[in-house]
Amino acid sequence: MAAIEGNSLVMNSGMNPLEGFHFMLRVEAVFDLPCKSVKGFTKENEYEYIQEGGLNDYVHMRRKPVSKPFTFEVERYVSIDYIDPLPNGAELILPVILLVSHEGGNFLSGVSRTYTFTGCTVTGKQYGSLESESSGLLTETTTIAYRQLLVVDVPRNRSEPVGFGEKYKMPGNARKLQV
């Protein structure tokens, strides 16, 4: 199928792949967590197959009820904070949002894809090893169960500048403190 000329929503040329190393996890819309890795999240449904009898080789597919929770793992460096944003056993009220961007540190306007996990519960924590023989940073791996995953792409034209645009830029003298 040919793409409609001038319509960037229908066209998928594959010329702008998303890097997998600019990401941030937003928890309870308050905590923005830098992570070492986020792994293991899938969006998969279970199906049962029912074959018709006789000479017919047609197979019906019926969706099964969910038999186990969907999970993903967040690995991050242990920091000294007053509040642990992901304590073990916590049932999170707001969705957990994984923001993926083309540019590092540009998560306000440069987000290219968001993964939204709803109905999240922290089901486990695992801590990395402590070794006196070698230096390294302590990591914790948090397992989070979720009910639903929603993926939202934010396509943009590479010719457009990244940022808020000209109408939001402050003039140079507006940054000075007025007394």
For 9-37, how does the pLDDT look when each residue is reduced to its tens digit (9 = 90+)? 555 566 666 666 778 889 998 888 888 88
d(CA 162, CA 116) in angstroms, rounded, equals: 23
For 30-80, how does the pLDDT look when each residue is reduced to its tens digit (9 = 90+)? 888 888 888 888 778 889 998 887 777 788 899 998 888 899 999 998 888
**CATH value at residue 149:** 2.30.110
In a domain, 102, yes or no: yes
d(CA 49, CA 114) in angstroms, rounded, equals: 33
Contact between 64 and 133 under an 8 Å Cβ cutoff? The reply is no
In a domain, 37, yes or no: yes
In a domain, 121, yes or no: yes
For 165-178, how does the pLDDT look when each residue is reduced to its tens digit (9 = 90+)? 444 444 444 443 33
- The candidate with the shortest Cα–Cα distance to 98, out of 115, 86, 121, is 115
Instruction: Give SS3 for 174.
Output: helix
In a domain, 11, yes or no: no
Q: What are the tokens at 38?
A: 């986020």
In a domain, 60, yes or no: yes
Expressed as residue numbers, the domain containing 65 is 23-153
pLDDT for 21: 75
In a domain, 8, yes or no: no
The tally of domains found in the chain comes to: 1
Phi, psi at residue 178, to the nearest 5°?
-90, 125
In a domain, 161, yes or no: no
